[in-house]
Amino acid sequence: MLAGYDIVCFSPNPWQALWRNRHQIMSRLARQNRVLFVEPAPYLRRVLADLSRRGPAAVASPSLVSPLPNLWVYRAPGYAAVSGRPPLADLTFALRRRHLRQTLRRLGFDRPLLWVFQYNVGEMVGHLDERLRIYHAVDEYAAYELDVPPAQEEARRAHIRALEADLIARMDLVFVASEALYESKRPLHPHVVLVPNGADYEHFARPGRPPATMASLPRPRLVFAGAINEKIDLALLAEVAARRPDWQVVLIGPVTLRRPAPALVRLQGLTNVHFLGEQPPTDLPAFLHAGDVCLMPYVRNEWTRNISPLKLYEYLATGLPIVATPIPAVAPFADLVFVAADPEGTMAAIVQALADDSPERRRRQQEVARQHTWDNRLERMSAAIMERLNVGTFTSYQ
């Protein structure tokens, strides 16, 4: 395992948000390294709105906290907010760079490893005297489905692909989370390593006490845990729930849809569908174990063709039966996951999953999950990093 280094991680999500792979990876690396987890810098428009509501405190709020030993969470101060156009954009970037450098000096960080988790959070590459630069792609970002007019869609995607390719060209090492990402990024860099997501096996294998909100529901309980966004087939969920009012569909996670979704409105109107909101990572296993079947109802498109869902490995660790739509990520687990593409098939798969559930099947599923832990993933990443540290060279982009 990598040990004794300073690591600066640039995340597209705050620390206090739905836990994703960057949270899992950095919390583990902090056991033997020092980690600065850099949250997205605030945008000027939002800072000005906060300033009008809260006064100077919006600009002078604390920017450094330590939720774990050896791990600090940093956010740029409001006075250095991101602005879109020069010369103001150049000035605010210089302020962010200065404040971050001061923070690193205060913490005693020396020539850190830079770990960038999205194409648009790499502005500090080449500015922190870093000894190694890592890009970690977990999605095909150009494939995100946003509320963009069709005439602008291809231009938006081309712009994102160009930004990502430029960032990758300045990296020493690239991690990708799926086979599809490996195929698309491999032509862009000589050092691309496939590392799928994983699970905190010990955490998700323990049942815990059933939450009251789950225990009060009739069975069977069909559980989905994760962000409720455009990659979730809400129409499929709504159709299944409407046809089987005796099944309880439980959705755990934030609703982050960027555009109106009639299927969401339909789901919200069904009495056997329960939106429980985002739950703390510590409590999530108890919610899952209180269910009967775990659901992975993804739409099938370019976005989901490239993903490595965290929930797949976390569901496997629970031992609970899994019903999923046929995305590439579930193909290696075809003997464990019940796969269906439409409402009729999904209902039949759920019936079969409930019928086939047994202690023996759960043990077999959990044995597979043990092979896909975050500790195993970290060993693979650590080996790749050490190899590049031994042969890599440093070039300044300052």
Determine whether 338 is exposed, middle or buried from the number of CB atoms within 10 Å of its CB (0-12, 13-18, 19+).
buried
- Summarize pLDDT for 129-166 with one digit per residue, the tens: 999 999 999 999 999 877 778 888 889 999 999 999 99
Q: Is 55 left (phi over 0), alpha (psi -120 to 50) or beta?
A: left
Average pLDDT over residues 293-307: 97
Q: Are residues 41 and 176 in the same domain?
A: yes
Average pLDDT, the chain: 93
Q: Are residues 40 and 189 in the same domain?
A: yes
In-domain check, residue 398: no
Task: Give the residue carrying structure tokens 């739905």.
Answer: 18
The rounded distance, in Å, linking the Cα atoms of 17 and 40 is 12
- Summarize pLDDT for 96-116 with one digit per residue, the tens: 999 999 999 999 999 999 999
Quote the Cα angle for 172-68-174, to 5°. 15
Q: Are residues 27 and 51 in the same domain?
A: yes
Q: Are residues 290 and 378 in the same domain?
A: no
136 with 116: CB under 8 angstroms?
yes
The rounded distance, in Å, linking the Cα atoms of 302 and 140 is 8
What sign for the dihedral angle of Cα 257, 258, 260, 261? negative
The rounded distance, in Å, linking the Cα atoms of 316 and 333 is 10
- In this prediction, residue 317 has a pLDDT band, given cuts at 50, 70 and 90, of very high
- For the cut 90, the answer to whether the pLDDT of residue 352 exceeds it is yes
Name the least confident of 75-84, 228-237, 333-342.
Answer: 75-84
Instruction: Give which of 305, 314, 338 is closest to 324, Cα–Cα.
Output: 338
Are β-strands 71-74 and 64-68 bridged in parallel, bridged antiparallel, or unpaired? antiparallel
243 with 219: CB under 8 angstroms?
no
In-domain check, residue 70: yes
Residue type, 381: M
Q: For the whole model, what pTM was predicted?
A: 0.92
Q: Are residues 124 and 242 in the same domain?
A: no
Q: Are residues 27 and 87 in the same domain?
A: yes
Average pLDDT over residues 266-274: 97
**pLDDT over 70, % of the chain:** 95
Q: Are residues 222 and 286 in the same domain?
A: yes
259 with 285: CB under 8 angstroms?
no
CATH number (domain holding residue 281): 3.40.50.2000
Range of the domain at 322: 201-372
In-domain check, residue 312: yes
- In this prediction, residue 48 has a pLDDT band, given cuts at 50, 70 and 90, of confident
Most confident of 85-89, 91-95, 119-123, 350-354: 350-354
- In this prediction, residue 393 has a pLDDT band, given cuts at 50, 70 and 90, of very low
In-domain check, residue 396: no
Q: Are residues 248 and 126 in the same domain?
A: no
For position 78, what pLDDT does the model report?
86
- Summarize pLDDT for 157-191 with one digit per residue, the tens: 999 999 999 999 999 999 999 999 999 999 999 99
Average pLDDT over residues 237-261: 95
The two tokens of residue 248 are 């309880």
- Summarize pLDDT for 51-69 with one digit per residue, the tens: 767 777 666 565 899 999 9
The rounded distance, in Å, linking the Cα atoms of 183 and 93 is 34
For position 210, what pLDDT does the model report?
94
Residue type, 388: R
Q: Are residues 220 and 193 in the same domain?
A: no
Q: Are residues 177 and 281 in the same domain?
A: no
What's the domain count of the chain? 2
For position 395, what pLDDT does the model report?
42
For position 62, what pLDDT does the model report?
55
Q: Are residues 227 and 89 in the same domain?
A: no
Average pLDDT over residues 250-267: 93
For position 260, what pLDDT does the model report?
80
Quote the Cα angle for 21-23-29, to 5°. 100
